[in-house]
Amino acid sequence: MNDMSKVEPVQIHPLDRCTAKELEEAVGILKAANKLSELAFYSSGFADEPDKNVVLNFKAGTSFERIIRLIGHDPKQKQSFDARVSLAKAELAEFTWVEDGQVAVCGPDVVKAIGLLFKTKECVDALGKRGVEDLSLVHVEPWVAGKRHPKMDPDARMFSAIFFLLKHIDGNPYARPIEGLIGYVDVDSGQVVIEDFGVAPIPEADGEYAANRVESVRDDVKPLEITQPEGASFQVEGQVIKWQKWQLRVSLNPVEGLVLHDVRYNDHGRDRSILYRASLSEMVVPYGDSSPMHSFKHALDSGETNMGHMANSLSLGCDCLGEIYYFDNTILKSNGESQEVKNVICLHEEDYGVLWKHTNMMHPSPSPEVRRSRRLVVSTFHTVGNYEYGFYWYFYQDGTIQMETKLTGHIGASVVADGKGTDTSPMVAPMISSPIHQHLFCFRLDFNLDGLDNSVCEMEVEALPPGPENPLDSGFRAISRTLKTEHEAKREVDPARSRSWRVVNPSVKNQLGLPVGYKLLPQASPVMLSGDNSLPAKRGAFAKHNLWVTPYESNELYAGAGPFSNLHSGGAGLPAYTAAERPIEDTDLVVWHTFGVTHVPRPEDWPIMPVEYAGFTLLPVGFFDQNPALDVPSPSKPCHD
């Protein structure tokens, strides 16, 4: 079906996305301030969100100061910069040279790194030793390195580079690794260091997966059509979505990607707030193989690559199916010009099976009462190097909210000539092994549960001791304790104890006289396995715990170093925020949840990985006085003969 018509309102809200005019006007003001050299380029530009009080108290027509944040790098200064521009005052409000860390990898970095490598005799000679003469068939993958090579300057803007050999210019670049060769490039100074760990044969198999290159496709797949003859049940006004009893606002941030704002539920005419803001704050992908080709890898894909800028333009029938509404986005290119990116957020609704059902067998004529579940889907997909990440927020008719990440793309590969894999890099194809690794996502959940003063309780289930109150030794009970400080709230998932965490508002009671609440129900998720003294653990410390809780501070948005994660020494984000050991009880709080998967590659992941899922669920617990989905209408067809 065709995309629904779009009506872009006049920009009146503090959370409205930047227009092209705003971005380019801000760039002009920064340039006029003469802070940057002619070599400077931009990593991102976006509207700096005002403090929560400004947003929550905003009324249509109210004035507010529009601040555009411009982030970039100046090769001449050999530093990244962070600037805030006031459009109303037409002036540079704040400018800082970044002392620790640099901005995400950008287009100019990739182009320059590849050019420098191909001009370096040592690199060309190393490729020649492996029989590679045609450089046009060499795929160079610049990797964020975590730390600088010891032979490079301490302020180098350095990237590692690994190499692959294509059979065809449009073929799969990852199927034929050029083993044992790593390039290190300082794109600021032009310095190149080559490390050669020895020649290995290059696999002959091309590992193709594209439809026009696989041997055959199935011929027994019949069409599956999803139709909504009367259109979708949601309404869109600018960036605000209304669906049944839900209302929320969406945006796409350069670092965080998809962001939800001001999530609300209409409970019998009562407008109830649940989340002020929710987004991916950071993620880390540590590799467990100690070989030189992989041991340095621990990509912070959000901050080091600008996850939001990697958002795909989505296609009907491919990424989204049904009656679709798409949201566009405006980004700032490295040269300071704006660019409109179409269809980056997909909105649709889908059937999700049975919502609830019961057959009253005591009735003289038993017949089932059944309600079909329908959910609203807000999603994005991002390509980050060899991987794809999908982020799907689901909203259900019973008040449930779910986040699901979808992982697909290409797994990392190493050449193993003797065909003997290891427990850190198992074989996935002839001559190809793939290193074990983790994908750990940290989501920042800024709760506003019927108001700002919330608390977090840890819920567990334990067996009752045998005795007079448990005569059959069969009893067990739920127990709860309130987490009072940031240190207490550093917690791990424990499925054996059915551990979960409940956000409550002590000052708002349900009809039972209990605080209203929402449960964070985690999946059985690992934490980071890299040692505490490792570089991945220092730079991605947020992944050492599944739960963190902090009091709200407007400038505490990132679990790590955020837009300056690249080459940051570590310790930023949650470790720094929680060092003060602040109280978190009955206050405006933020819940940080880290979840993910430990990926032990298998042959079925080659040459392209089927989607793997991870996520969490937010369940109302005492937030409603009864099942809020009682009023969902029955199916149009009778559920009995």
Catalytic positions are 301, 387
Find out whether 183 and 123 touch, Cβ atoms under 8 Å.
yes
Within the chain, how many helices (H) and strands (E) appear?
A: 6, 30
- Alpha carbon of 16 to those of 55, 350, 448, 539: distances in Å? 11, 27, 20, 32
d(CA 44, CA 255): 9
**472: number of CA atoms within 13 Å, CB side?**
3
- Alpha carbon of 178 to those of 226, 271, 625: distances in Å? 45, 59, 62
Q: Which of 618, 623, 552, 635 is nearest to 588 (CA)?
A: 552
Please state the separation of Cα 186 from the chain's center in Å. 28
Strand 427-429 to 432-433 pairing: antiparallel
Place of tokens 């040459």: 607
Where would I find the H helices in 75-188?
107-118, 121-129
3-state secondary structure of 117: helix
Find out whether 559 and 591 touch, Cβ atoms under 8 Å.
no
Q: How many residues does the chain have?
A: 641
Handedness of CA 207, 213, 216, 219 (dihedral sign): positive
d(CA 279, CA 618): 14
Residues 6+ apart with CB under 8 A from 25: 68, 87
DSSP β-bridge partners for residue 539: none
Neighbours of 230 (CB within 10 A): 7
| Structure token digits, residue 459 | 């819920």
| Structure token digits, residue 382 | 């991002």
3-state secondary structure of 111: helix
d(CA 393, CA 380): 9
Neighbours of 631 (CB within 10 A): 11
3-state secondary structure of 539: helix
Handedness of CA 113, 118, 123, 126 (dihedral sign): positive
3-state secondary structure of 537: helix
Where would I find the H helices in 38-79?
52-56
DSSP β-bridge partners for residue 609: 409
Residues 6+ apart with CB under 8 A from 302: 255, 256, 257, 280, 281, 282, 283, 565
3-state secondary structure of 56: helix
Find out whether 250 and 327 touch, Cβ atoms under 8 Å.
yes
Q: Which of 325, 306, 332 is nearest to 104 (CA)?
A: 306
- Alpha carbon of 310 to those of 344, 383, 597: distances in Å? 10, 6, 22
Place of tokens 């320059």: 112
d(CA 234, CA 236): 7
Please state the separation of Cα 76 from the chain's center in Å. 32
